[in-house]
Amino acid sequence: MQFTYRRLSECLIESDATVKYRTYLADAFAWLEAREENSIHAIVTDPPYGLREYTDIEKAKLRNGRGGVWRIPPSFDGCKRSPLPRFTVLDKAEIAALQAFFSKFAEQAIRVLVPGGHIMIATNPLLSHYVYHPIMKAGFEKRGEVIRLVQTLRGGDRPKNAHEEFHDVSVMPRSGWEPWGLFRKPCEGRVQDNLRKWGTGGLRRVSDTNPFLDVIQSSPARAEERRIAPHPSLKPQAFMRQVVRAALPLGRGVILDPFMGAGSTIAAAEAVGYSSIGIEKDSAYYSVATRSIPALVRFIPNGTNGKSGGALAAAKRFKANSHRAGGRIRRETDSRPHRPYIWSKRTFLAR
C-alpha cells in the first residue's frame, strides 16, 4: 500500500497544541518510504525482533492464552507473570527472514535520519548479532550498547521433560540483562560541525558532571504500568525516559518509534518534552497506545502515583548504588519532565 502525506495525516491523533507527538496506524516500512530524507533526529524502538511471535496467528494464541511460541508462565503466589516469546525455536528460514527484516529497516532508517542521528534498538543476547549486522551493513556506525540490567524469567531452566534427571543442570544462563544496540548515521564532518548544523552526533548528558552511562539498572514494567498499557514487551517509563532523553544531545528534534506497541517510547518523549512520532500496524496495540500514552506520561516511576510521599520522597531516600559522581550504575529515578534528579554528596539537586 502506498502512503501519501495526506493519507498519513488522516491517521493523526488529533490533540491539543501542548501535545508534541503524532501516532499512525500504518505499516512502518510504508510510512518510512513516504517520509522525506533527513527528517528524523533519532530512532528509539523495541521491534518485533523474533518476528514469528508477532504474526497474526501467534498473537491470537497469545491473546487467547493458548501460548503457541509464547511461553505463558504459571501464576506464582497469586502473581500472574507476563508471557515470554520462545526465541530459541526460530529455524534457519526464520533467522533469514529476521535479517531481511532488519536490512529493510536499516535501509529506510539511514535515509530518513539526519546525519549524526542515533538508533537505540532493543534486542536480547540470543538474537542481537542478527539485528546488528544488517544495521551496520546499511552504513551505520556501531557506537556500543546500552545495557539494561533487568532480571527476567528467560533462561535458567532445567532440560525440558528431564528436569528431575538433570536437576543440577540449566540449559542456558538465567538472563540478567537486556542489550540495546546503539548506532549512529555518519556525521557531516566533525561532531561539533554536525551538532551545529543538525543538532545530532552525540548523546545528551545526565548533568554537567555526569555523562550518560551505558549501564542502567532497571526493573521490569510494574503492575501499575501494565494495567495502563497491557503489552507483552512493555518497557518501564523509568528506563525509557532515560534513553529517550539521551537520544537528542541538544534536546531538540524528532524521536521516531516505528514499532510503537503500547506507546512507551512516545510517552517517554512526551514526558521529557520531546517531539515524537509513533507507528504501529497492529490495530489492537494501536488502540492500547492511544489510550495509554497520556496516562504513561503522567505516571510517576518508582513513586506511589497519588499516595502520600510519592516518587520524590522515594527518590530522596539514599540508595547505595545510585548514579553518583564516580561512575556507578544509574538507578531508575523519578524522571519527571525536565527534572532528572541527581545525587551529590550532600544535597539532592533538581536540575
pLDDT at site 351 = 41
Instruction: Compute the average pLDDT of residues 122-129.
Output: 90
> CA-to-CA distance for 76 and 280, rounded, in angstroms?
32
Q: Model-level pTM?
A: 0.76
Residue 325 phi, psi dihedral angles, 5° rounding: -55, 130
> CA-to-CA distance for 150 and 98, rounded, in angstroms?
24
Q: What is the pLDDT of residues 20-62, one digit of tens each?
A: 999 999 999 999 999 999 999 999 999 986 555 555 665 565 5
Give how far Cα 29 sits from Cα of 45, 158, 268, 347, Å.
14, 40, 23, 48
The average confidence (pLDDT) of the chain is: 79
Q: What is the pLDDT of residues 253-308, one digit of tens each?
A: 999 999 999 999 999 999 999 999 999 999 999 999 999 999 999 999 875 454 43
Helix ranges (DSSP H) in 229-344: 237-247, 264-272, 283-298, 310-316
Q: What is the pLDDT of residues 293-337, one digit of tens each?
A: 999 999 998 754 544 343 333 333 434 444 434 444 455 544 444
Instruction: Compute the average pLDDT of residues 64-71.
Output: 52
Q: What is the pLDDT of residues 190-217, one digit of tens each?
A: 999 999 999 999 999 999 999 999 999 9
